[in-house]
């Protein structure tokens, strides 16, 4: 069974190579660059989404810190009024808010790391894309020059067989006279 699957892969690779040779390489190159641009645009959008999420986490942390300050004031009031049951309730809220702040801080750290990695990766891919664009431009210009040379050499100055025969007879008659 593995022999058959290897043979299938080999034939498939040969078919892909043959199709690549049949297709215009300049079109394939341009399509590859367009696909890379689409991927980079998607990654840029994802980075923007992560930045928005980071902003939401900062707002959530700010709100939690403000709420914690309010709870501290309410605790002072509860203890000064000797309302231990209310103080216990406020202490419970305080502990919950402190846990929330820790969770948000952890989420922020993880998000910052992910954002930093994605930005670095995105910048590398942008540089690679610029390099590919430059190489593609050079290759396409070179291909255009080769095509133009071929058209110049073969298209405009074609010589028919009859013209060769006439020139041959002329040259032959010149040689006989000398």
Enumerate the domain spans of the chain: 24-135
Q: Which tokens belong to 26?
A: 């300049």
The residue with tokens 């696909």 is 35
Q: How far is Cα 158 from Cα 164, in angstroms, rounded to an integer? A: 11
pLDDT at 11 over 80: no
Looking at residue 44, what is its pLDDT?
A: 94
| Higher local confidence (pLDDT), 133 or 147 | 133
Q: What percent of the chain has pLDDT over 90?
A: 49
For the entire predicted model, the pTM comes to: 0.60
Within 8 A by CB and 6+ apart from 54, the residues are 108, 111, 112, 115
Q: Are 104 and 60 in contact (CB under 8 A)?
A: yes
Q: Are 73 and 96 in contact (CB under 8 A)?
A: no
């Amino acid at each position: 069974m593995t022999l058959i699957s290897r043979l299938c892969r080999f034939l498939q690779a040969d078919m892909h190579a043959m199709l690549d040779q049949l297709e215009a390489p300049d079109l394939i190159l341009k399509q590859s660059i367009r696909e890379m641009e689409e991927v980079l645009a998607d990654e840029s959008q994802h980075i923007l989404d992560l930045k928005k999420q980071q902003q939401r986490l900062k707002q959530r942390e700010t709100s939690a810190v403000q709420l914690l300050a309010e709870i501290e004031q309410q605790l002072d009031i509860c203890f000064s009024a000797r309302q231990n049951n209310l103080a216990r309730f406020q202490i419970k809220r305080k502990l919950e808010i402190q846990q929330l702040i820790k969770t948000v801080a952890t989420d922020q750290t993880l998000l910052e790391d992910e954002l930093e990695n994605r930005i670095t990766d995105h910048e590398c891919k942008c540089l690679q894309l610029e390099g590919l664009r430059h190489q593609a431009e050079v290759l396409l210009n070179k291909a255009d020059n080769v095509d133009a040379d071929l058209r110049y050499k073969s298209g405009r100055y074609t010589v028919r067989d009859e013209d060769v025969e006439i020139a041959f007879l002329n040259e032959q008659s010149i040689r006989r006279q000398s």
